[in-house]
Structure 1
C-alpha cells in the first residue's frame, strides 16, 4: 500500500512542477510584452516630442510677401519667407514648414555667409548650434541655440535677386504668434491678437498641426505639412486607390526629403472635403513610396491618416491660433 501511494505521488509532483514552469514562462512572456509595449510607447513618444521652444520673439509682422519656390514638376515646391540676419545687409530666405517642429538653419549655407561676414556668425561646433537674430519684416526672432543641419548650398552673393535658402521656420514660431496665411495674395501675417469668431477646433499635438476632415463621408485626421506644398492630399496606397479617379493618367515624379529621394504618385480625384467652415473640392490625390518604416510607424501611432499640403488652400486664407487650437479658413 505504501509503495503504491508513493508511486502515485511521483506523476502528481512532476505535473505540478511542469505547471509551475509553464506559469513562470507565461509570466516572463507577459512581463517582456509589457516592457516592450511601454518601451515602444516611450520610444515613439520621444520621437514625436519636440525639443523645448527657445525662440524669443518681439513685435509682429503684417502682410509679409512670400514666394513660391518651384521646380520642373512643381510650381509650389516650397513657401519662402524673406529674412534679414542682424548685421548683414542682404535678404535671405527660409522655408516655412509646418511639418517641422523647430526652426533650424542649414550649416553649409551659413558657413558660406560666415566667410564673407566672419564677425556676424558664431557657431557652437561642439553642440552643432548657432546663436542668431533675424527679422521677418517688423518682427524679431532670436535664439541662443538654433540647431544646425548638415544641409544647404553656398550662398550666391554675386547674382542679384537670388533666392538663397538658408533654413527652415518651424511650428515653434506658431507657438509664439497667431498666423494668417493669405495664399491668394501671397502674404503672411504673424500677430499677437486676432478676431476669434467663426473658428473650428484642431489639434496642436507636440507642435504638429492635425486637422479634422470629412472625405467621402469618412472622418479623417490629417497632418498639415506645408513642406508638401505642391500636393493637395497625401494618403497611403490603399486610400489613394480608393479615392482616385479610375481611368485618368497617373503622374509620377521624384521627391526629396532632407536628401532622401522619394517616388511620388499623383492621380486626379473628384471628392468633396468638409474642412472647418468650408466645403472644398479635391481635384487630385497623392501617395509616396520610399519613406522609412519608422516614419510609417510614427504616422500610424499618432493616429494621423494622411497629410495635407498647401495646394488645397491656394485660393483661401488660413488662420491659425495654435496656442488655443483654433483655425479658420476664409475665401
Structure 2
C-alpha cells in the first residue's frame, strides 16, 4: 500500500511540475520585451489614412511618419494587436540605400537604432526590431504609399491615444479629462475591452491590425450571431506572411463596448490560425477580437497607463 501511495505522490508531483513548467513557458512566450521607447512631445489631429485590401476599404489604419533630414512622408500601420513598435527589414534596407546618412545600418542582427516623428511627437529607440517582412520601396515615387513598419501598444504606454474615426484624425497626448471613462484590462500590452453581446459578458481584444472587421469570433459563436441565410463572404487574410481564410456574414445585433451600444452588422471567423495563436486566445481570457470597423462613426480614446477608455 505504501508503494502505491509513493507512486501516486510521484505522479502528482510530476503533473504539478509539468503544469507549472508549461505555464511559465507560455507566460514567458507571450510576455513582450521591455518597453524601450523614448517619447517626447505630442501629436494632435494627425490625418489617418485607410489602406484597402481584397475589397476591404478599412483593412488597416496608416499613420504618417517622418525622419529627420528626409523630405518624404512614410507610413506605419497602427496595430494595437502588436505589443511592440517595429520596422520592416526589406523596406528599411531599401530606404537606407538612398539615405545612408539619415538611416543608420543595423545595430545588430534584426535590430536598428532610429528616431522618427508623428506630428510634433518624437519616438526613439536604440533597439527597434527589424522584421523580415515588407517590400523594397522607391522614395522618389511620390504617388506610392510607402509602408515601413508597425506602431504597437508600447507607444500607448507612453501616450493617450485618441482615434476620431468620424473625422479620420488621431492624437497622442499626455493628459486628458477622463470623466465618463470605463476601465479595461491591459495584460502583456493587450487591450481587453469589457463587452456585452446578447446575454453574454465578454472580454474582447481590441486589435486594430484586424481593422476591417467588426467582430472576429469562433465558428460556433459566428453561427449564433450571423443573420440566417445572409450572404457568406470568403477572402484571404495575411498575418505576417501567413495566409488565412477569413469568413464573414451579415449580422443584426447590438454590441455594448463599455457603456456604449454599437451596431454590429457583420461577424467573422478565421480558418488557418496557428495552434500558438489559438492558445494565446484561450490563455489571455479573450473571447474574440474587434477591429476599427466597429468604431467608424465614433471616437475612441484609450489610456493604457491608467487602463481607462471611452467610446463617443
Q: TM-score w.r.t. structure 2 length?
A: 0.97
- Partner of residue 58, structure 1: 40
3-state DSSP of counterpart to 2:178: coil
The reply on whether 1:164 has 2:149 as its aligned counterpart is: no
Range with bigger deviation, 245-254 or 93-102: 245-254
Determine the structure 1 residue equivalent to 2:7: 25
> What SS class does the counterpart of residue 53 from structure 1 fall into?
coil
CA RMSD of aligned residues (A): 1.1
Q: Deviations over 1:153-195 (max 9, x none)?
A: 1112232231110000000000001110000111000001111
* Contact 1:269–1:285 under 8 Å retained in 2: yes
Q: Could you list the runs of 5+ residues in structure 2 that have no partner in the other structure?
A: none
Q: CA deviation at 1:124?
A: 3.2
Q: TM-score, normalised by structure 1?
A: 0.92
Q: Distance in 1 between matches of 2:107 and 2:210?
A: 31
Partner of 2:244: 262
Report the count of equivalent residues: 312
Contact kept, 8 Å, 2:54 with 2:235, in 1: the verdict is no
Asked if 1:150 corresponds to 2:129, the answer is no
CA contact (8 A) 1:223 1:304 kept: yes
- Structure 1 residue 285 and structure 2 residue 285: aligned? no
What residue in structure 1 maps to residue 182 of structure 2?
200
Q: Who wins on radius of gyration, i.e. which is larger?
A: 1
**Higher mean C-alpha deviation, range 209-218 or range 115-124:** 115-124
8 Å CA contact retained: 1:123, 1:129 = no
Distance 1:23 1:85 in 2: 68
Unmatched segments (≥5 aa) in structure 1: 1-18
Deviation, structure 1 residue 22 = 2.1
Question: 1:104-163 deviations in whole A, cap 9, x for unaligned?
Answer: 000100000111111222233634210001010111110011011001111122322311
CA offsets, 1:205-261, max 9 Å, x none? 111100010000210000000000110000011111111112111101110000000
Name the counterpart of 1:137: 119
State the secondary structure of the residue aligned to 1:122: coil
User: Residue 201 of structure 1: CA displacement?
Assistant: 0.8
